[in-house]
Structure formats: structure tokens, C-alpha cells
Amino acid sequence: MGSPLDRDVRDAINRGVQPGPRLLTSVRGVNNARLSVEELREAVRKNAADGADLIKMFASAGSVKNGGHQTLSNEQIAAVCDEARKAGLRILVHAYGDDTIRAVSVAGCTSVEHGFFASDETLRELASRGTYYDPNIGLVMQNYLNNRPKFLGIGNYTEDEMAEMEKAIPITLATFKRALAISGLKIVFGTDAVAGAHGHNIEELIYRVQKGGQDAGAAILSATSVAAESLKMGDRIGAIAPGMGADIIAVEGDPLKDVTALRRVVFVMKDGKVYKNVARGL
């Protein structure tokens, strides 16, 4: 969601040069705490001018190891969110710590990404302000752990970091369960998928249902209509209804009764066109 290369891939898909999903990009992240408020506003304007579909801001440290301490001031967060609104763009914010999550919601940002250490009070704040909440509780950290040898030595991926991820998994699951109990909280589906996790996004949804206790129907809505609404696309996609884009999948089984049926996709349609997986004979 945050590379200039994503823009080129998005445009190629939209022109029909290559098949692919509906791709949105922020072009680049907004995260430099050394910038002034006005410089951060200019960064948002530049991303918008460069073709961003949304703004991605990093308001917390990038690691769970340090508890995700806040890296941008409340004033900086508010300025970036305000400038994104002026540009007519949604703003998704990487935020771990409770104070950061609350600051993001108070600033009027669209969505909190991750939000591992949110308190019940802050989750209620998100609900009251209509801030979307995108916890990533299964796939991303499990992927790092499953592919530990491939990640170790890259960036900040150390044995200590991996150990902290293992500790964080039950914390994130507990936070998700508490979030489900907050009336009116808009929980959206997302995976934070990284290298090694692509093609396995559905495992996050299944985990939310089987381990987190989310209703299967609610989980599916979080990945369709709620997700579309959070991206300001709810009038075009996310539901099967007259006038909507015909984005449809068919699976073997009833996912409301057996959520693992979502692994068994036998039909994919995007905007009315059927796509076949020749390699799998589908």
C-alpha cells in the first residue's frame, strides 16, 4: 500500500494490461517525525498529486517489541488527517499504543491499523467517533514466525523481535475479543500481509472466527461491505446489489456454517468478468 511501484501496477491493471485485484496505493507512507506540521501537510499534498488513492500514516514505532510507542505528536497526527480530508482521501494509520490510537481517533482519521494495545475505553472512543478498527491478529505475525530463517537479519528482524511477536499473539487475540464486545465498533478485515503471506489472506479471517469468536457472517461483512465503506467505495463494491460492481466469488460449502469453505474458491468474478486459475484447473 505504500510504494510508488504500486501505482504503476494499479494503473496497468486498470488499463487491462494485466489481470489483478482492485489495487489501492498510498504511493508512500507519511512518517517523518522530524518534519514540521506544514511539511507533513505538504507530504500529504504531494502523495495526492502523485496519484495516491489514500494516505497511510505511521504514528507508532514500527515494532511490537517496544510497545509501539507514539512517534508523531498529536499535533502532527491531526495535521496529516486534516490535510487528507481536504484532499478527499481516506487516511489509514499504523498505531499500536493506547494513547496513539486515541489520538488518531480524536484527530478524525479514517482507520486504526493494528491497534494491538487498545484499552476498552479507547475502543469505545473509536466506536463513538466512527473510526474503523483493523486489528491483524493471526496471519502477519504467524507468517514471520513460520518463515523465521528468511526474515532474520533483515532490518530489525532479530531473535528478540521474533520472541516479542510470539508474546504478542495472545495479546492481540485478547484485544480482538474485547473489541467484539464493543457496541458499534466498526471492525474491518485486513491482514498486513507481507512476503510469504500473499495468497493466504483468508487464514486471518478463519482465525478471527475460530479463535477470536467472531460470527462468520460478521467476518465476511468486515471483508466486503465494511471494508468497502472504510475505503469510501461502498457505493461501488462490497455487496451484491443492482448498480454495484459485480465482484463475486463462489466456494464449495456454506461459509456461514463452515468458515473454512472460504479456502475452497471455485469461481472468481471481478466487475462482471470471470477469471480462471489455469494452473489449478479452475
Is residue 259 in some structural domain?
no
Is residue 227 in some structural domain?
yes
Looking at residue 178, what is its pLDDT? 98
Any idea what the CATH number is for the domain that residue 180 is in?
A: 3.20.20.140
How many structural domains is the chain composed of? 1
Is residue 281 in some structural domain?
no
Is residue 146 in some structural domain?
yes
The string of pLDDT tens digits covering residues 243-281 is 999 999 999 999 999 999 999 999 999 999 999 877 766
**Window from 4-8, 179-183, 266-270 with minimum mean pLDDT:** 4-8
Round to whole Å and give the CA distance between 124 and 115: 13
Is residue 217 in some structural domain?
yes
Is residue 170 in some structural domain?
yes
Residue ranges making up the domain that contains 42:
4-243
| Residues listed for the chain | 282
Is residue 140 in some structural domain?
yes
In sequence order, the β-bridge partners of residue 208 are none
The string of pLDDT tens digits covering residues 58-112 is 999 876 766 678 999 999 999 999 999 999 999 999 999 999 999 999 999 999 9
Looking at residue 277, what is its pLDDT? 76
Amino acid at 92: L
The string of pLDDT tens digits covering residues 184-216 is 999 999 988 777 788 899 999 999 999 999 999
14 has pLDDT over 90 = yes
Residues 6+ apart with CB under 8 A from 171: 116, 117
Is residue 34 in some structural domain?
yes
The string of pLDDT tens digits covering residues 97-153 is 999 999 999 999 999 999 999 999 999 999 999 999 999 998 888 899 999 999 998
